[in-house]
Amino acid sequence: MPSSIVVAFLGALEASASVLLTIFYGGIAAYFGLISNKSSIDISRLAVNLFLPCLLFVNLGSDIGLSDIHRFTPIIVWSLAYNLIALFLGSILTRMFKLPRFVTSAVTFNNTTSLPLLLLQSFGESGALSSISGGDTKAAISRAQAYFLLNASISNILTFSLGPRLMSKVNDGPTEEGDEDVSIVEGGREMSPNQTGPEGDGGERVPLLAKRTQVRATNWARLTGHFLLQFWNPTFIGACIGIFAGLVPVLHHHFFDQGGIFLAWLTVSLKNLGNLFASLQVVVVGVKLHSTFAKIRQGEGSGSLPIFTTACILVIRFIIMPAISIPIIYALAAKTRLLADDPILWFCMMMMPVGPTALRLTSLADVSKADESEKMTVAKFLALSYFFTPMICLAAVGSLKATELAGA
């Protein structure tokens, strides 16, 4: 037993080291001027809007079928559940210790795409997953990629539907379009809620309650429209098309089965594009980190990063979340029949809530119109958090051993 734990730990450590080295290569490229920060933004946009949808289409479509829905349904439920658990923990932490607004989002949204995919590649090469792969590590890694990508699709939707609200200053007080504090402008002058509208000019007095109701209805419609709009993005569309193609037997055969008319040219070309995603995104992380450190050296940005704030986020992301996920998934796998009999599925579900904060936090800071000081604080935190990626070894070893025990 001790030797198997050592092997698993070394495999996880090698995987983490490979991720850090890939980040380092991005930083080196930026240092020598091979890529600029602006170019990295364009590459990241290309990866998210083209490469990732292709990856989702191929991996989800090839691994899902009418007989496999029971394997994927628990992932959808778990993806929603663990994000809500993290959101609750982040909210409590932020309110209890009066931490910066970004802490709730930093705790809630972890890197669910590029980092897990790159870790899986390294796990496959190191043989760390051989004990739960069922004798076919390549097929197990392919299934694991599909599981993580489905989780990533749901996480992306939650990030951009809930994230801006969590990061916004609106949460600190009444909204600009608030309910009870709404002011009504009539006749060029602002009126308080307890005043009535002017009479005369043949105008009809409109009850204030009706105006409040109208404002609320308008706000609700706008928020609903904004929420639904989050679903309309290339990532979600690619996932939906892939799932549709996988569930329709004729399409599944022609796109993903040997002998299919689309397999050798169309599917392979999409797969080639999709395979570029993980490495490119992690290289972009390195470029962004280099840009952040360059700004710090030049004295730009005054955002401070308290040690306590950073420690709280890292502890939740790398220790508390796996301490929650591993026992829950172990119990479901060992004691119930709610999960499919696939150890790789159990391992992936244990690992889904673990890892550093998503780099999308910088996008959320922009969307929420944070000031430059707060944006710099977010950038500093992200730069620091990715140096703690090797901490994921603890969760990986725990998940691997729990999976082995559940399947015993």
Looking at mean pLDDT, say which of 207-221, 266-280, 292-306 comes out highest: 266-280
Q: What is the pLDDT of residues 298-333, one digit of tens each?
A: 766 556 778 899 999 999 999 999 999 999 999 999
The interaxial angle of helices 392-407 and 343-351, nearest 10 deg, is: 150
Higher pLDDT, 86 or 135: 86
Cβ atoms within 10 A of the Cβ of 364, count?
24
Q: Give the tokens for residue 130.
A: 């051989």
Calculate the dihedral angle through the C-alpha atoms of 326, 403, 113, 51, rounding to the nearest 10 degrees.
-160
DSSP character at residue 171: G
Higher pLDDT, 296 or 100: 100
CATH level 3 topology of 2-169+228-407 = Na+/H+ antiporter like fold (1.20.1530)
Question: Could you tell me which of 32, 57, 31, 29 has the C-alpha nearest to residue 43?
Answer: 29
Beta strands in 187-278 (DSSP E): 189-191
Give the mean model confidence (pLDDT) for residues 394-402: 92
List the domain boundaries for the chain: 2-169+228-407
DSSP conformation letters of 252-315: HHHHHSTT-TTIIIIIHHHHHHHTTHHHHHHHHHHHHHHHHHHHHHTT-------HHHHHHHHH
| Stretch among 28-32, 153-157, 365-369, 403-407 having the lowest mean pLDDT | 365-369
Q: What is the pLDDT of residues 229-259, one digit of tens each?
A: 666 778 888 989 999 999 999 999 999 988 8
pLDDT over threshold 60, residue 192: no
Percentage of the chain beyond pLDDT 90 is 36
Mean pLDDT of the chain: 81
In the chain, the N- to C-terminal Cα span, in Å, equals 14
Compute the distance between CA of residue 233 and CA of residue 223 in angstroms, rounded to an integer: 17
Q: State the pTM of this model.
A: 0.80
pLDDT of residue 66: 78
> Is 402:335 a contact under the CB 8 Å cutoff?
no
pLDDT of residue 11: 77
Q: What is the pLDDT of residues 98-110, one digit of tens each?
A: 888 889 999 999 9
Q: Give the tokens for residue 313.
A: 């986020």
pLDDT confidence tier of residue 223, bands split at 50, 70 and 90: low
pLDDT of residue 84: 93
pLDDT confidence tier of residue 208, bands split at 50, 70 and 90: low
